[in-house]
Chains A and B, each alone.
Chain A
Amino acid sequence: MGWPATILEVAATVALAVIVLAIGLTIVRLVRGPDFADRAVAVDLLATLAVAFLGAFAIRTDQPVLIDVALALALVGFVATVAFARFIERRQPTYTRADRG
């Protein structure tokens, strides 16, 4: 961005950096697990954060078209979450009742 930058450009750049940090923290949870359900929650949040990233990126690059991409990603992310939930419910249970204590 050329200097002097507008307030909006600075804000969009800072927001992008913060959202990338958030995505990194979510990936930490995605890798550590420990359960499949924990990873499903992390993937759900990753899709949501990607929508936020695209919003900030649309402002940063001055491309309103990216809002369409964000909308489509929100739709797909919800379907993915529903699919993960169905999968967790239908497979063999990970724990027996005694594990919960």
Chain B
Amino acid sequence: MAEILAAACLLGGAFFSLVAAIGVARLPDLFTRMHAASKAGAFGVGLTMLGVAVWAADVGPVTRAIATIGFLVLTAPVGAHLLGRAAYRDGVPLWEHTLVDEKADATPALPRIPPAAPRARREASASRS
């Protein structure tokens, strides 16, 4: 019974991992890709590790598998938020059919952390806009 449950968790986790990868490969812009990678990816790996926990059936490995799931669930949204904010401030283009860009009229435009000192010096002489 536990074996069937573990097998089901494994296959489900692998399926959602594949969905996340297809999303990252096929979706039109960075932000839709991140939506696939963070949600489906974390869920797929969480399900896989749940299957590992069911399979191990021993205190140590089960604790570590559960700890891995907890850590992934805690960090996946944080990492996705950081990457998304950085990419938006970097000015990565949105999909042409995007309906709402709530920060489009924000003042000051695209707030940025100032670049580190060596970058600032290069900025003065560079012709790149």
* Interface SS of chain A: helix
A49 touches B75 (CB 8 A): no
Contact of B49 among A42, A55, A82 (CB under 8 A): A55
A52-101 contacts to B, CB under 8 A, are: 52, 55-56, 58-59, 64, 67-68, 70-71, 74-75, 78, 81-82, 84-86, 88-97, 99-101
The complex places the Cα of A14 from the Cα of B51 at a distance, in Å, of 14
Q: Contacts A51-B72, A56-B48: A94 and B115 contacting too (C-beta < 8 A)?
A: no
- A residues sitting closer than 8 Å to B (CB atoms) are 6-8, 10-12, 14-16, 18-19, 21-26, 28-29, 35-38, 40-42, 44-45, 48-49, 51-52, 55-56, 58-59, 64, 67-68, 70-71, 74-75, 78, 81-82, 84-86, 88-97, 99-101
A38 touches B30 (CB 8 A): yes
B68: which A residues are within 8 A, CB to CB?
Answer: 51, 67, 70-71, 74
Contact of B24 among A25, A68, A78 (CB under 8 A): A25
B92 touches A45 (CB 8 A): no
Of B10, B22, B91, which is in contact with the most chain A CB atoms at under 10 Å from its CB? B10
B89 touches A89 (CB 8 A): yes
Of A7, A12, A45, A95, which is in contact with the most chain B CB atoms at under 10 Å from its CB? A45
The complex places the Cα of A86 from the Cα of B87 at a distance, in Å, of 10
Contacts between the two chains (Cβ within 8 Å), count: 220
- B residues sitting closer than 8 Å to A (CB atoms) are 3-4, 6-8, 10-11, 13-15, 17-18, 20-22, 24-25, 30, 33-34, 37, 41-42, 44-45, 48-49, 51-52, 55-56, 58, 60-61, 64-65, 67-68, 71-72, 75-76, 78-80, 82-83, 85-87, 89-94, 101, 104, 109-110, 112-113, 115-116, 119, 123, 126, 128-129
